[in-house]
């Protein structure tokens, strides 16, 4: 049961770091040093976030990344969608015609419910909330 992958985790950490730098454009090498994430991997991640409209980028010397959205609008659920694909609820293995007994569909209902709740909670976690809860000191 691995709710989020490394991609998503790294992305969230990077976004938190960037958010804490306010309007400063943050280059990848700086994040690599601060977060200990393999450089090429982090580069790919932030590039994706750029394409997805979560980060804005600037090239050249002094370039880097900054948030394209307000910290309270960057939700964990969005990152999960971006890096782990669209969340497929209710994809019945037996395509509804076969489903041999009611019990199995009860199973689907249960699991869908659990996933739905998890999603709702992922939706509530934003980088604003993480930074706030963190009470960081540096």
Partner DNA sequence: ACAAATGATACCAATAAGGTATCATTATGG
Partner DNA sequence: CCATAATGATACCTTATTGGTATCATTTGT
Give, in order, the Cα–Cα distances in Å from 76 to each of 23, 84, 97, 119: 21, 11, 36, 9
**Complex with its own copies: residue 45 or 122, whichever CB lies closer:** 122
- Structure tokens that stand for 56 in this block: 């804005």
CB contact burial 99-134 (16+ within 10 A = b; e otherwise): eeeeeeeeebeeeeeeeeeebeebeebbbbebbeee
- Tell me which stretch binds its own copies (CB under 8 A): 21-29, 47-55, 62-70, 97-105: 97-105
**Complex with DNA: residue 4 or 129, whichever CB lies closer:** 4
- Closest among 81, 101, 79, 95 to 12, alpha carbons compared: 79
Contact between 85 and DNA per CB under 7 A = yes
**Complex with DNA: residue 1 or 133, whichever CB lies closer:** 1
How many residues contact its own copies, by CB under 8 A? 52
Work out which of 17, 22, 62, 63 binds its own copies, going by CB under 8 A: 17
Which of the choices its own copies, DNA, none does residue 75 contact, using the CB cut-off of 5 to 8 A by kind?
none
**Shortest distance, CB of residue 41 to DNA, whole angstroms?**
4
How many residues contact DNA, by CB under 7 A? 28
Give, in order, the Cα–Cα distances in Å from 78 to each of 21, 40, 52, 86, 125: 22, 22, 10, 9, 10
| CA pair distance 66, 42, nearest whole angstrom | 14
User: Cβ(71)–Cβ(77) under 8 Å?
Assistant: no
**Complex with DNA: residue 84 or 104, whichever CB lies closer:** 84
Interacting residues toward its own copies by CB under 8 A = 1-4, 6, 9, 12-13, 16-17, 20, 34-36, 76, 80, 84, 87-88, 93-94, 98, 100-107, 109-111, 113-115, 117-119, 121-122, 125, 127, 129-131, 133-138
């Amino acid at each position: 049961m691995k709710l989020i992958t490394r991609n998503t985790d790294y992305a969230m950490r990077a976004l938190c770091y960037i958010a804490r730098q306010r309007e400063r454009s943050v280059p990848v090498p700086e994040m690599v040093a601060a977060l200990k994430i393999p450089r090429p991997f982090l580069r790919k991640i932030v590039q994706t976030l750029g394409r997805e409209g979560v980060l804005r980028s600037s090239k050249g010397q002094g370039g880097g990344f900054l948030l394209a959205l307000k910290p309270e609008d960057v939700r964990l659920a969005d990152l999960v969608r971006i890096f782990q694909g669209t969340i497929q609820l209710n994809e019945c293995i037996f395509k509804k015609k076969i489903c041999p007994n009611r019990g199995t569909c009860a199973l689907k209902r249960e699991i869908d419910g659990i996933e739905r709740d998890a999603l709702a909670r992922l939706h509530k976690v934003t980088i604003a909330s993480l930074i706030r809860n963190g009470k960081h000191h540096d």
